[in-house]
């Protein structure tokens, strides 16, 4: 009996502790991403960044005087689990869902949120997507309640192929991607865009390998070598990227790598281990060391707080900054009120303050994209990646207006 009383008291005190700060008018952000399992390293970094952003905002008096509260929901990068977690978040009073890892997850959430809002006309849930970049999400399946803050596959490939177009030394390209919707989307766009912009380039291989199942990539490397390729394009992420690049380093494969996610967690460490200075390129929405003071201050503060994983995803900072701007402009944290402010919003992007805009037609953000290569840093550049001593060096920049691609979206607006 004594034990029961004690545990009840304990339970009550825990509940009490969590109830007090969660005042009714807090801006609640539900972060639905992997926080356990294989992809947890990346998911945890996103949560760290959101916590950092919320704390910074709260220190400066909050947004419209309201405190920002971030709640993490572990979706194990599984679409089905994600929907359960989104429902749980909604039940707990969250109206802003943020997610970014995995297009299959993103598509599921996009559909779920649209359906939920249709069935509950007073609910208004918004889904802010900082990283799921399957183009279908802002094209055929676009939704009024979804915003895409990362450049989608088509946008990135258009920018990347524009860069490749100017490099006459590229003659034979090999594509290797993970065998799921995203990998196929990248490969298909690469084939069609290369054919259009550089018909002389020969595509000597178009390989798909199972997702996160390969331990030994040397057979694939042997195949790339046998094909005579001088350039490889890959959208691999996580360990599929790390193991691929390490296997290439070990067998002395002499090619340049054009990647989507070389900068994601673990990538820089692997490139350094493979000793491939200047051979690995990535295209993304921003890197450190662009000499932009506000971004560098944030990076310094963030690095001091999360010493173990000082990795910045500019796309998360873009997402929240635009969200806060919209909430302030609308004077309301109800998505129905601030979504019109997000639509068409002009914004100076996080990494270098470049012009960006949220296209109203399909809710796709267009922003400056950067092509960078990984290697030793010049002495005036302060930020290395993952304590490797190496960092990203800018080799190309594409302004937002040059990344615009058409959309097939026919958006259904409420009312």
Partner 1 sequence: MFEILFISTINGVLYGMLLFLMASGLTVIFSMMGVLNLAHASFYMLGAFFGFEITLHMGFWAGLVFAPLIVAGIGMVVERYGLRHVHRHGHVAELLFTFGLTFVIQEVVEMVWGKLPVDYRVPASLDFSAFTVFATTYPAFKIFALLVSVVIFLALLMVIRRTRIGLIVQAALSHPDMVGMLGHNVDRVFMLVFGVGVALAAVAGVIAGPVLVTQSNMAGLLGPILFVVVVVGGLGSLGGAFVASLLIGLVQTYAVAFNISLADVFGSSPLSGDVAFYLDDLWNVTVAQVAPILPYLLLVLILIFRPRGLMGTNNR
Query: Which residues here bind partner 1, judged by CB under 8 A?
Result: 37-38, 40-41, 44, 179, 207-210, 212-216, 218-220, 222-223, 225-226, 239, 242-243, 246, 250-253, 265-266, 269-270, 272-273, 308-309, 386-388
Residue placing its CB nearer to partner 1 in the complex, 179 or 301: 179
Distant-in-sequence, close-in-space partners of 139: CB < 8 Å, separation ≥ 6: 362, 407, 408, 409
Decide whether 266 or 354 has the Cβ nearer to partner 1: 266
Least CB distance from residue 232 to partner 1, whole Å?
16
Angle at 89 between CA 409 and CA 42, to 5 degrees: 75
189 membership: H or E segment, kind and range:
helix 181-197
Burial (CB count within 10 angstroms: exposed 0-12, middle 13-18, buried 19+), residue 283: buried
Report in angstroms how near the CB of residue 144 gets to partner 1 at its nearest. 33
To the nearest whole angstrom, how small is the minimum distance from the Cβ of residue 269 to partner 1?
Answer: 5
In the bound complex, what is the minimum distance in angstroms from residue 263's beta carbon to partner 1? 13
Cβ distance to partner 1 smaller for residue 158 or 276: 276
Cβ closest to partner 1, residue 212 vs residue 321 = 212
Query: Which are the contacts of 77, defined by CB distance < 8 A and separation ≥ 6?
Result: 33, 34, 37, 38, 39, 43, 101, 102, 105
Enumerate residues 6+ apart whose C-beta is below 8 A from 213: none
CB of 226 to partner 1, least distance (A): 5
Of 125, 210, 130, 129, nearest in space to 176 by CA: 210
CB of 334 to partner 1, least distance (A): 35
Cα angle value 81/412/366 (rounded, 5°)? 75
Q: C-beta of 301: minimal distance to partner 1 in Å? A: 20
Cβ atoms within 10 Å of 239's Cβ, excluding its own: 20
Are the C-beta atoms of residues 45 and 311 closer than 8 Å to each other? Answer: yes
Query: In terms of CB distance, is 35 or 287 closer to partner 1?
Result: 35
Minimum distance between the CB of residue 284 and partner 1, rounded to whole angstroms?
Answer: 19
Q: How far is residue 338's CA from residue 340's CA, in Å, rounded to a whole number?
A: 5
Pairing assessment for the beta strands 96-99 and 68-74 based on DSSP bridges: unpaired
User: By C-alpha distance, which of 312, 286, 316, 318 is closest to 300?
Assistant: 312
From CA 351, how far away is CA 349, in angstroms rounded? 6
Q: Which residue number, 217 or 324, has a Cβ lying nearer to partner 1?
A: 217
Which of 229, 243 has the CB closer to partner 1?
243
The residues, any chain, with a CB within 8 Å of residue 333's CB and separated by 6 or more, are 25, 27, 63, 64, 66, 95, 96, 327
Spatial strand order of the sheet with 27-33 comes to 68-74, 27-33, 96-99, 126-129, 146-148
Residue 77 or 342: which CB sits closer to partner 1?
77
Which is closer to partner 1, CB of 30 or CB of 249?
A: 249
Q: How far is the CB of 247 from partner 1 (least distance, A)?
A: 9
Between 239 and 319, whose beta carbon lies closer to partner 1? 239
Closest distance of CB 265 from partner 1, Å: 6
């Amino acid at each position: 009996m004594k034990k029961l009383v004690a545990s009840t008291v304990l339970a009550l005190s825990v509940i009490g502790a969590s109830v007090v700060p969660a005042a009714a008018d807090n801006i609640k952000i539900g972060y639905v991403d992997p926080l356990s399992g294989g992809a947890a390293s990346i998911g945890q970094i996103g949560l760290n960044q959101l916590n950092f952003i919320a704390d910074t905002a709260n220190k400066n008096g909050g947004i419209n005087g309201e405190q920002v509260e971030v709640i993490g929901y572990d979706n194990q990068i599984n679409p089905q689990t994600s929907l359960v977690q989104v429902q749980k978040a909604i039940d707990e009073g969250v109206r802003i869902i943020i997610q970014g890892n995995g297009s299959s997850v993103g598509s599921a959430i996009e559909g779920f949120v649209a359906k939920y809002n249709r069935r509950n006309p007073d609910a208004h849930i918004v889904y802010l997507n900082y990283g799921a970049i399957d183009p279908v999400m802002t094209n055929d399946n676009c939704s009024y309640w979804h915003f895409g803050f990362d450049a989608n596959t088509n946008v990135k490939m258009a920018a990347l192929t524009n860069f490749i177009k100017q490099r006459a030394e590229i003659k034979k390209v090999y594509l290797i991607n993970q065998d799921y919707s995203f990998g196929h989307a990248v490969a298909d766009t690469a084939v069609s865009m290369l054919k259009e912009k550089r018909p002389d380039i020969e595509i000597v291989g178009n390989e798909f390998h199972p997702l996160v199942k390969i331990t030994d990539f040397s057979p694939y490397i042997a195949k790339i070598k046998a094909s005579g390729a001088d350039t490889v394009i890959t959208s691999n992420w996580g360990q599929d990227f790390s193991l691929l690049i390490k296997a290439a380093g070990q067998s002395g494969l002499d090619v340049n790598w054009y990647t989507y996610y070389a900068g994601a967690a673990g990538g820089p460490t692997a490139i350094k281990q493979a000793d491939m200075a200047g051979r690995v390129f990535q295209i993304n929405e921003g890197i450190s060391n662009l000499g932009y003071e506000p971004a560098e201050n944030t990076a310094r503060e963030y690095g001091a707080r999360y010493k173990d994983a000082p990795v910045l995803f500019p796309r998360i900072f873009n997402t929240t900054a635009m969200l806060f701007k919209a909430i302030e402009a609308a004077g309301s944290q109800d998505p129905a009120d601030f979504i019109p402010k997000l639509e068409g919003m002009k914004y100076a992007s996080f990494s270098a303050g470049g012009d960006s805009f949220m296209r109203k037609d399909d809710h796709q953000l267009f922003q400056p994209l950067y092509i960078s290569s990984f290697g030793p840093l010049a002495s005036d550049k302060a930020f290395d990646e993952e304590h490797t001593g190496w960092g990203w060096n800018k080799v190309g920049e594409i302004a937002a207006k040059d990344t615009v691609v058409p959309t097939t979206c026919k958006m259904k607006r409420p009312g």
